Amino acid sequence: MAVVFWWLSLTPSLLPRTPLFQGVVSGAAAATGYAVGAFFAWLARYLLSRDTPWRTPRWYVWLGLAVVYVVGSVIMLYWFSRWQNEIRDLMGVPHLRWTAFPATAVVALIVHALLMTIGQGWADIIRWLTRQLNKIAPPRISVVSGVTVVVVLTGFLLNGVVANYAMNFLNSTFASANDETTADSTPPTTPLRSGGPGSLVSWNSLGREGRVFISHGPSVEALSEFNRAPAIEPIRVFVGLGSGSDLRANAKRAADELERTGGLTRRLIAVGSATGSGWTNKAMTDSLEYMYNGDVATVSMQYSYLPSWISFLADKQRARRAGLELFEAIDAKVRAVPESRRPKIVVFGESLGSFAGESAFGTIPSVTARTDGALFSGPTFNNTLWKDLTNSRDKGSPEWLPIYERGGQVRFIADQKDLERPSGPWSTPRVVYLQHASDPIAWWNPKLILSEPDWLKESRGRDVVKSTRWIPFVTFLQVSADLARAVSVPDGHGHNYLTAVPYAWAAILQPPGWTEAKTEALLPRLTRD
């Protein structure tokens, strides 16, 4: 079973893999296969009341298995090379070198040995406890009791002691990183940005990503030159965890800061839900500032020190609350403005930011009633609204790119061409979900362990190879490894969203005087980070 699972781990998933990640997947898959085989062997002995192990096969059986192993491994490595090249050609990534194969094998052996050592130690504890219980209870009761006790204690240790120490370590580590400042991040000299003159928050309190957000963006000169008309300076508001950990208080501070800077007098207010550490896709904000020639106020806030994927796994409720509190605080300020002078308001977010951004709304009618548009890119499998829309998609549309109620209010796109899909009317306000079929962050789900998802039952996405198949346990390990490589692929694949962003905003807001030619001219000026 270990060998079979190792072979299966070489099958393709969503993204091209480096030798390191392929080795980790293969080693973990082999250990999983061994555990499955050991469990069923134990179960067979238990059901047959057989206390002794099966008789060891003769030497010629081992020789036959060795031949099968070698031949099978050569065949699978050949197909692994072909599958990886197919994925890499699809995404414009260089092919693997020959050195990748021995490197993969070495990493796989190390990972397999490590996991087997841990597993064997765990099993030894169960056997020792069973022997002790045998002194006072029947053998079968001893086995069941021993397994139950060890499993419960393991769960307690992992969820309690280990998890707490791990979270404390991670928070301490990333809190230190949060205090760092990039070389190109400098305190603003304008009162129109948080951390500048008259600001309600200090420059040091913004955190690393907050300082990046405030320091960057197109200048008035760049906006004027691009639009061939005098521009005004965009407003950017950010509140970091340095201002305190009370999310409601921080959201109110962000709303007050927006009012202080004059953001309520701008034509457009953009509420951007960040990832845990405060990161936002720069193209999301920059595109709006170009489209409205600077007449935009963008507001965001930090709610964690942790990177997006750790924050999502460990404390997604904090992300949910941050998104809700921020929008409600801004919305209250906007609604206090007389309707005739009220600015437009849009919401956006990427990855965990899309999860947080959805949190203020339970349904699409709620989004369209309270905003003038929304753009969410790279949604996570736990995005409540996104999941409901996907599950209720129109018959015949695939999970990786669904159509909801004939595209009348919300549309799902993988690139800008999908904005016209379907061809029917698209009323305003508009909502767009930008997602790639090869994005593991969108399709990772614990259910992959034992359940085949629709995106693998249906026809494959445009950037997913047809040979990708669902395999119990293995597919979960593969997609889990893909998470670490999600942004290490070219734009338009994986979790790398850039080119489609300005097209999506143009379709959502339809800014006066904006054309597709302007969108094309804007693209070279945009970056994701």
Kindly list the domain boundaries of the chain, sorted by start residue: 2-137, 179-436+497-524
* 299 phi and psi angles, rounded to 5 deg: -130, 140
Contact 284, 291 (CB under 8 A): no
Rounded-to-integer distance, Cα 480 and Cα 275, Å: 19
Distances (CA, A) of 281 to 8, 350, 495, 497, 527: 36, 7, 11, 8, 8
pLDDT of res. 175: 63
Residue 21's contacts (CB-CB under 8 Å, 6 or more residues apart) are 481, 484, 485
Rounded-to-integer distance, Cα 28 and Cα 101, Å: 17
Rounded-to-integer distance, Cα 198 and Cα 262, Å: 12
Q: Which residues pair with 375 in a beta bridge?
A: 348, 432
Q: How many residues does the chain have?
A: 529
Distances (CA, A) of 101 to 72, 304, 412: 15, 39, 38
Q: Token digits for 240?
A: 């970091």
Question: pLDDT by residue (tens digit) across 451-483?
Answer: 999 999 999 999 999 999 999 999 998 999 898
| Opening angle at CA 378, ends 352 and 263, nearest 5 | 65
Contact 355, 382 (CB under 8 A): yes
Q: Which of 292, 297, 288, 298 is nearest to 227 (CA)?
A: 292
pLDDT of res. 146: 75
**Residue 427 exposure: Cα atoms within 13 Å on the Cβ side:** 8
pLDDT of res. 152: 73
Q: Which of 329, 194, 333 is nearest to 266 (CA)?
A: 333
Rounded-to-integer distance, Cα 495 and Cα 484, Å: 10
Question: Over its length of 529 residues, how does the chain's per-residue pLDDT go in tens digits?
Answer: 999 999 999 999 999 988 888 999 999 999 999 999 988 887 887 777 766 666 777 878 888 888 998 899 889 989 999 999 999 999 999 998 888 888 888 999 999 999 999 888 888 887 788 878 877 877 767 777 777 877 777 766 666 555 556 655 556 666 666 777 787 888 999 999 999 999 999 999 998 899 999 999 999 999 999 999 999 999 999 999 888 889 999 999 999 999 999 999 999 999 999 987 889 999 999 999 999 999 999 999 998 877 666 666 666 788 899 999 999 999 999 999 999 999 999 999 999 999 999 999 989 999 999 999 999 999 998 899 999 999 999 999 999 999 999 999 999 999 999 999 998 899 999 999 999 999 999 999 999 999 999 999 999 999 999 999 999 999 998 999 898 889 899 999 999 999 999 999 999 999 999 999 999 999 999 999 8
Instruction: Tell me which fold the domain 179-436+497-524 belongs to.
Output: Rossmann fold (3.40.50)
Identify the three-state secondary structure at position 67: helix
Q: Look-up: residue for tokens 């080119």?
A: 499
Helices 163-178 and 308-335, packing angle to 10 deg: 60
Question: pLDDT by residue (tens digit) across 247-263?
Answer: 999 999 999 999 999 99
**Residue 112 exposure: Cα atoms within 13 Å on the Cβ side:** 23
Q: Which of 355, 351, 350, 442 is nearest to 398 (CA)?
A: 442
Rounded-to-integer distance, Cα 501 and Cα 508, Å: 11
Q: Token digits for 72?
A: 């099978």
Identify the three-state secondary structure at position 493: coil
Rounded-to-integer distance, Cα 108 and Cα 6, Å: 9
Beta strands 296-301; 374-377: pairing state: unpaired
Q: Which helix (H) or strand (E) holds 299?
A: strand 296-301
pLDDT of res. 312: 65
